[in-house]
Structure 1
Amino acid sequence: MLCRPGFARAEDYFDPAALELSSPQQKTADLHYFATQGGQQPGTYPVSIWVNGQAFGQSNITFVEQNDKLTPVLTAAQLAEYGVNVSAFSSFDNLHEGETFTRIGQYIPDATSQFDFSAQRLNLSIPQAAMNVQSRGYVDPARWDDGIPAAFVDYTLSGSQTEQSTHNGHSSFLNLRSGINLGPWRLRNMSSMQYDTTRRWHSLSTYLQRDVISLKSQLRMGDTYTSGEIFDSVQFRGAQLMSNDEMLPDSLRGFAPVIRGVAHSNAKVTVSQHGYVIYETYVSPGAFAIKDLYPTAQSGDLEVTVKESDGSERTFTQPFASVPFMLREGRIKYSLSAGRFHSGQDQSRSPTFIQSTLFYGLPAEFTLYGGTQLAEDYHALALGVGHNLGELGSLGADVTLADTTALSGKRYSGHSLRAQYQKSFAEAGTSFSLASYRYSSSGFYDFSEAMMLESQYGLIDNKRTRQEIAVTQELGDAGNLSLSAYSQDYWHSQSSDKTLHAGFYSAWKGISWGVGYYYTKSSSHNDPDRSWSFNINIPLGGMLAGSSVSYTTSSDNHGYTSHQVAMYGSVPTNPNLNYSVQQGYASQGQGSNSGASLDYHGGYGETQLGYRRDRDSSQITWGASGSIVAHPHGITLGQSLGDSFAIVRAPGAANVAIENGSNLHTDWRGYAVVPTLTAYHKNFITLDTQSMTSDTDVEQFGATVIPGGSAVVEANYMTHIGHRVLFTLHDHQGLVPFGASAQLADDKTAATGMVADGGTVYLSGMPDDGTLEVRWNDAGVAHRCTLPFHIAATEQDAVKRVDGKCLSQRGL
């Protein structure tokens, strides 16, 4: 006779009766919650929520016991927030608004929940068919956080004190970006002050803005700039409603230029846009590159001025414009602006105007776009089309017709044709970040030019042709070639603006080097500048592993040559303190030059101090940047801010490091500024537990925040500040039962512990004086006792010990 073998399945089970305690007199509380693997007591726990293996956020979730395991208490609204398509399941129709449930599988077939108590993590497994179909990176707009009420000032200060043979002088530049947040509204101001022989204060812009979530748009009222994708960007005071691409998921959605040039001495470089200074820095002799611009407008050419130590100045133009924007089929992108034009020029007219632009994604990877500009004496109409050429890149072409009536009544009409191209050839390693060409007829004036016609210093040299190209060619391990060029010429004038940079850059075993050629010509100067440069950078090792030495040489068409040797890096004992020392020599009687500087990157901002000397002058430079933020819990200092940022709130947790930046840490009250967040996206802010003192504990080390546009959000951490104590508890029958629950009385936020063998329980965050409350069940009867305690200030142990009698109490 044959018999089929039988199979039996068994789960891990712990029999509380099998406990062997060190004291036979110690009883055990009701431990059936812990009888199965992972079992815990029901209650409300702060947990991180994961849906189908993706982190979703943190929340306080209530758990109840079902089938010998903890099951979350949920609502349909919570599941919808987690991305579940609850409307597709009729079973949810029977629930009233806000009604809770625990058996998720009864509402969504094959859905399950699992609580990992040790990781404080709730894992929800939802069939993919039950999830809303969303693009990669999508975050439900309902989760975008408007943030907390706040006011801030973000500042950048630079200055110098210069001594020359003929005279002494000083110069200072202060840039302020200030704001107030209240609900969804943001009030912003950008101002700057320049001070040398006179003090000049400029308020660059003041505006009020908010998100319009239903339109995936942003409303702005005040001083702002028009969109520069079709027409040249202009400044105005009025109102603007425009699409905000940052609200789109990553899979559905660009650009600040790198400014390169050559300085002949210890020079000051100033960058202006739309007539306002937006950036100022000091550079050493040789080639320089500025990569950290914060332009005030989406487009608008940048005017770069290099002021040498002998007082001479050179100016060139850095083009800055948007690349062709291809839209997916059916997508719409728009902008609508209305207000009074403001050019920053005293002689310009300032009429009221309306500008509108529209992009629409057509089938077959075409994008149709156009726009209008309407003012009393100016009308412009633009129409264009963009096409995705697949492996050949994207191409956009448009035509703009303009009609201008001057103050004298004379009428000008003309057209402007433009073509733009963008492509990255991955296999060939070639990238065209922007290539464009524009031709304008003699009667064509853009809006800014038209408003200057027939003024006292009227602009008559209107633009004729303009070409731009920026291309990079990778050469494998050998390095890469870089080329950028810009040319602009004018009607009624022989002058033109031209810039060209061509360079080869390479690296080998940490040693980097490059050679570059520069050509600049300004319409206001007849003589062009031609120069080349070579630089090499060698990292050091050993005790100076954070340092490097560099050599730079440059030469130009006027016979000027310079050589510069520098050593720079971080101080070995303090990686946040950077230093630089340099020595150089220049021809044409310039002689030797030298300099040294220190730069400290701290948790509350950055400071710089430097000294430079050459034949014509000696100069002390200084700088500082950072932020001051006022919020409902006080005032906190921080590093320079981005558009959206966070206030970390961990009361009492002083000087705790934050892993989301360089040298970020909480202040003496437990607050900190995380200076940069990505709006409309999940941002994870994590505390470094290794930096916490022995009297500090937090329930969760990470927080997830999703800021709305320009929001100041709060990352809140539940802290337990106080002693770490090992209690040994007795009652009238001996040791308090094993498995009893202990917590600081009258403080539901305090940490909870379970009584272990020998009546011991470990708790953190205990005050000098307090009362411990202990609860347990025995044969269905609830018991409670309390222990008043005092911890002497003389105790120095990291973990204090308290042994006492827990007094029985009536009632719960």
Structure 2
Amino acid sequence: MKALIGSTLSAVTLALYTQTASATSFDSETLRLRGIDPDLAAYLSQTARFTEGVHAVRLWVNGQPRGVVHAAFDTAGALCIDQAVRDAGDLVDTGSGCGEFIEQFPQTLIELLPQAGEVRLLVPAPALRTASADHSAFTRGGAAGLLNYDVQGLYNQFDGQRSRFLSANTEAGVNAGDWILRSRQFYSSVQGKATLQHMEAYAQRTFSERQAMLQLGQINLSNPVLAGARVTGAQWMSEPALGASVSGAQVQGIAATQARVDVRQGGVLIYSTVVPAGPFELSNIPQLDRRRDLEVTVIEADGERRTFTVLAAALGLDLPARGFALGIGQLRDSGRNAREPWVLSAGASYPLAPAASVSGGALVAQGYNAGGAGLNLEPWPGSRVQGLMQAAHTSESDDRGLQGSFSLNQQLGDRWSALLSAGRQTVGYRELIDSAWHQPGERSSRLRDQYALGLTWTHPWTGSLSATWSTTTAFDGQRASRAQVNWGRRLGPVSLTATGQWQVAGDGGLGNALYMSASLPLGEGVNWRSTARRDATGVRLGSGVQGRWDERTQYRVAAERASHTGELSYNGGISRLTQASQLDVGYASYGRGSHGYSGAARGAVVLHEDGVTLSPYPLQDTFGLLTLENVAGVQIDTPGGSVWTDRKGRAVLPQLAPFGRSNVQVATASLPRNVDVHQGAATLQAARGAVPRITFGVEVTRRLLLQVQDEAGRRLNRGTGVTDAQGQLVTLVQEDGAVFVPNAHANPHLWSRTVDEQPCRLQFQLPASVDTNAYYEQTVAQCRVEESES
């Protein structure tokens, strides 16, 4: 049957889209002998064209692909350059009609390729949208409330001891009138002892005409050359989306068991999560200050705590983007019963040349002053260099000091790259947070210098190899060094990886560990993995399977054996991406009655004027809402990941690029078989804080495969045309009188011709209910001779 439908569509395509250079006369008898209705001659003589209506086509503009768009064509097959085509092609708006664009840009060339399902436009440069200085093209406004949540739970029973941990990172907020209001909290419960830590609460709005952002409340002061400060106050700064984006920090390590990982900066807990045994990599960790080290604590299932420091210099070279920042506020959360002075911070970074920029900043507080300058260079291709010098004075203790740093990121040929960073400070140098409390006994234990080196090597034979090394030296001479190596290589279908970490010097509590794995695909979506791990407890060998039950469900099962005791341990888990949340559950058995359970849920709740909609992803500061007219379970591909419509046909667009372009598209394969979407793709351009809403119209279709006979019981001739009530061609008759009707709702009255060329009308009966899982329905039709309505 599929072959019959394919033959039908191929025949229609061949008949409709046979291309000719000019109008051509056809011999009616020749057409009849070849199985083609002679009435098609007039249609075929006018060169290839799309039929009247809306077609999903691939759009190209000036040689660049613009994705799939549902384009409208008139009765002559001419393209309507409407709002849908202009949005997809990034063309300027010229009005609501179809002809205004050509009238304004008569140089436009339109190439229609119906046989390939493509439309190619060649337009003059003024017809393309450009980023205007006032950003008037961006969508603004909209209102919605949100609650982002990330809940983690862990229960372990190890050697008769029980440990329970529960954490919840939450972010509540409102977007209204381009204002962004946010409040972040962190709840944790360890062994039943609960704590609630309020992180920050602030209001923010971008004034795009000034390309600047205003922040009010509990904020982090930004400074391009000095460590910032957590204050309650106000800040006026350049809009990051109109410059360069800044990503969060990345932390790597190895866990011996199913463990909890806490990340702190300046003594403040900024991130907490649960990781499985083996190497872990935490990405996009939100930092309070990009110039302060991170303290990472790994808490194993048996309660063992291992702590290591990730130097700010090892996080990568961070060249400040062009812009400014000016803020004032009262220091908060400084800890240790410290005083909380008022702080004024100002800084800016501007280019000196295409490959050079200079940065400067100052920070003034009660009893504390600091200033600094930086030079950022790209001296030759593949090289980025930054030098910083800071000076600080603490009035109360009359401490004065300097701090300098140098960073180099260099591409060494096609395969090598290197990162080098060095920093040193004098004994009198203080950060603002350090000056807020007395620490006479800690002067000699403070860091004097720190160095970091990273190398990356990539080769088709050896694979990818990266290594980092960092070391610090205190004023009392104590040294601490850490090294980590990562390697990966693919040999045919087998993927090999190795990760090692070492505490080279000092007592950082990190411990040494080496982890190796080999992964082999066993079939579609299933991988077998073998592992080997060596750490302070000895060598452990493991093997397991990871796979997919469906596109949204993953599972993992593994076993591990300790070589020195022969003890076996097991672990497994399931991860599920639902329409409303990301869920994960896991179990681990460590032998001798020791085991652990873990669970996690992550997502968002959105409150808007039409009700409540759930999202499986946390929302960013700019998000949107989509409606698909009461069609549930349809997949929508968005920049923040795939989402699915709820029972009311609504879905949340969790992440839109502020002052950028965000493409949203319906995955048509997920639509019910009897539903067609009018416009399945859209490009959103939203200002920061906006909540755009889009609606995709749908049409309920009814596809039919008819077996047609005339009143004498004869099958219609193959190639005979089937038209609608207006005489427009709908399809062609195939072998044995088979007729495939794309949409019986749009064409309820169909006409054709009997064997003896008499006009006849197709009559058939359909069941009242429709099978939404079937692509088409089959029934018998009779073509009765009567007066044509056409």
TM-score, length-normalised on structure 1? 0.75
How many residue pairs match? The answer is: 735
Q: Give the gaps of 5 or more residues in structure 2.
A: 1-19, 709-720, 751-762
Alpha-carbon distance change, 43 to 656 in structure 1, aligned in 2, over 3 angstroms: closer
Q: Is the 8 A contact 1:463 1:488 kept in 2?
A: yes
Q: Are 1:499 and 2:482 matched, yes or no?
A: yes
Give the partner amino acid of 2:409: Q
Shift of 1:621: 1.9
Q: Is the 8 A contact 1:266 1:612 kept in 2?
A: no
* CA distance 1:230–1:121, change in 2 (3 Å): same
Shift of 1:593: 5.1
Q: Could you tell me how far apart the structure 1 residues matched to 2:119 and 2:317 are?
A: 44
Match of 1:719 in 2: 698
SS at match of 2:669: helix
Counterpart of 1:93? none
* Structure 2 counterpart of 1:36, from 42, 46, 62: 46
CA change 1:448–1:174 in 2 (3 A) is: same
User: AA paired with 1:311?
Assistant: G
Code of the residue aligned with 2:416 in structure 1: it is: T
Which residue of structure 1 lines up, in the alignment, with residue 522 of structure 2? 541
Q: Residues 64-143 of structure 1 correspond to what in structure 2 (within 5 A)?
A: 70=78, 72=80, 82=90, 102=99, 107-108=104-105, 110-113=107-110, 123-128=120-125, 130=126, 141-143=135-137
Structure 1 position 440, deviation (Å): 1.4
Distance 2:293 2:232 in 1: 20
The structure-2 alpha-carbon separation of the partners of 1:229 and 1:763, relative to structure 1 and needing over 3 Å to count, comes to same
- Residue identity matched to 1:173: S
Please state if 1:421 is matched with 2:411.
no
Quote the residue 1:51 is aligned against.
Answer: 61
Q: Aligned pair in 2 of structure 1 residues 569, 754: CA closer, same or farther (>3 Å)?
A: same
1:297-376 aligned within 5 A: 297=288, 299=290, 300-320=292-312, 323-324=316-317, 332-363=322-353, 365-376=355-366
Q: 1:156 to 1:803 in 2, by over 3 A?
A: farther
Identify the match of residue 639 of structure 1 among 585, 593, 616.
616
- Aligned with 1:175 (options 169, 188, 191): 169
1:145 to 133, 139, 151: 139
What's the counterpart of residue 620 of structure 1? 597
**Equivalent residue in structure 1 for 2:587, among 607, 610, 634:** 610
- Cα distance, 1:279 vs. partner? 3.4
Structure 2 CA distance for partners of 1:313 and 1:73, relative to 1, 3 Å = closer
Match of 1:440 among 411, 425, 429: 425
**Secondary structure at the counterpart of residue 673 of structure 2:** coil
Q: CA deviation at 1:370?
A: 0.8
The 3-state SS of whatever aligns with 2:306 is strand
1:488 corresponds in structure 2 to 472
User: 1: CA distance between counterparts of 2:268 and 2:45?
Assistant: 72
Are the equivalent residues in 2 in contact too, given 1:71–1:102 (CA < 8 A)? no
CA distance in 1 between partners of 2:116 and 2:133 (Å): 24
Q: Secondary structure at the match of 2:570?
A: strand
Matched letter for residue 319 of structure 1: L
Q: Does 1:471 align with 2:458?
A: no
2:389 & 2:474 partners in 1: Cα distance? 19
Report what 1:155 is aligned to: 149
Which digits, 9 at most, give the CA deviation of each residue in 1:590-619, with x for residues without a partner?
873513221222233222222332458432
Conserved? CA contact 2:569–2:590, under 8 Å: yes
Equivalents in 2 of 1:98, 1:555: separation in Å? Answer: 69
Aligned to 2:7: none
Q: 1:310 to 1:123 in 2, by over 3 A?
A: closer
Aligned to 2:22: 11
- Residue aligning to 2:383: 393
Instruction: Give SS of 1:690's match.
Output: helix
**Aligned partners of 1:656 and 1:691 also within 8 Å:** yes
CA gap of 1:521–1:200, structure 2 versus 1, over 3 A, is farther
Cα contact 1:696–1:765 (8 A) shared by 2 = no
Amino acid at match of 1:579: R
Q: CA deviation at 1:210?
A: 2.9
Output the aligned Cα RMSD.
5.1
The amino acid that maps onto 1:555 is D
Work out the CA distance in 2 between the residues paired with 1:679 and 1:211.
Answer: 10
C-alpha distance in 1 between matches for 2:48 and 2:742: 21
1:552 partner letter: A
3-state SS, counterpart of residue 22 of structure 2: coil
Question: Which of 478, 486, 497 is equivalent to 1:513?
Answer: 497
- 1:781 aligns with none
2:182 equivalent to 1:207: no
Partner residue, 1:600 = 575
Partner of 2:186: 192
Q: Which range moved further: 197-206 or 159-168?
A: 159-168
- Secondary structure, counterpart of 2:226 in structure 1: coil
Q: Distance in 1 between matches of 2:189 and 2:73?
A: 63
C-alpha distance in 2 between matches for 1:194 and 1:499: 30
Contact 1:506 1:514 in 2 (8 A): no
2:646 to 653, 667, 675: 667
- Cα deviation 1:373-397 (Å, max 9, x = unaligned): 1222221111121221214722221
| 8 Å CA contact retained: 1:646, 1:674 | yes
1:383 equivalent in alignment to 2:340: no
Q: Does 1:269 align with 2:266?
A: no
Residue from 689, 699, 707 that aligns with 2:678: 699
* Contact 1:445–1:462 (CA under 8 A) maintained in structure 2: no
Query: What residue is the counterpart of 1:562 in the other structure?
Result: 539
> Cα distance 1:464–1:57, how it changes in 2: closer, same or farther (>3 A)?
same
Distance, in Å, in 2 between the alignment partners of 1:585 and 1:435 is 39
Quote the Cα distance in structure 1 between the aligned partners of 2:117 and 2:199: 49
CA distance in structure 1 between the aligned counterparts of 2:433 and 2:326, rounded to whole angstroms: 18
The structure-2 alpha-carbon separation of the partners of 1:213 and 1:795, relative to structure 1 and needing over 3 Å to count, comes to: closer
Query: Distance between the aligned counterparts of 1:504 and 1:534, measured in 2?
Result: 11
User: Residue deviations 1:26-59, cap 9 Å, x none?
Assistant: 9x99x99997335678899998865323356899
Q: Cα distance 1:462–1:69, how it changes in 2: closer, same or farther (>3 A)? A: same
Corresponding position of 1:238: 233
Aligned-residue offset at 1:563: 0.9
Do the aligned partners of 2:357 and 2:377 also contact (CA within 8 Å) in 1? yes
- 1:371 deviates by 0.7
| 8 Å contact from structure 1 (residues 173, 193) kept in 2 | yes
Residue 625 of structure 1: SS of its match in structure 2? strand
Answer whether contact 1:303 1:315 (CA < 8 A) is retained. yes
User: TM-score scaled to structure 2, two decimals?
Assistant: 0.77
Change (3 A) 1:271 1:338: same
Return the letter of the residue paired with 1:698.
V
Q: Which residue of 1 aligns with 2:417?
A: 431
Whether the 8 Å contact between 1:193 and 1:200 is mirrored in structure 2 is: yes
**Whole-Å Cα distance in 1 between the matches of residues 518 and 219 of structure 2?**
42
Residue 252 of structure 2 corresponds to residue 260 of structure 1: yes
Q: Paired residue for 2:436, among 418, 437, 451?
A: 451
Shift of 1:512: 0.0
* Distance of 1:343 and 1:753 partners within structure 2: 74
Counterpart of 1:782 in structure 2 is none
Aligned mates of 2:596, 2:44 — CA distance in 1: 73
Q: Structure 1 pair 191/800, CA: closer, same or farther in 2 (3 Å)?
A: farther
Contact 2:224 2:361 in 1 (8 A): no
Q: Assess, with a 3 A threshold, how the Cα gap between structure 1 residues 150 and 795 changes in structure 2: closer, same or farther.
A: closer
Equivalent-residue separation in structure 1 for 2:623 and 2:641 (angstroms): 15
Maintained 8 Å contact 1:13/1:35: yes
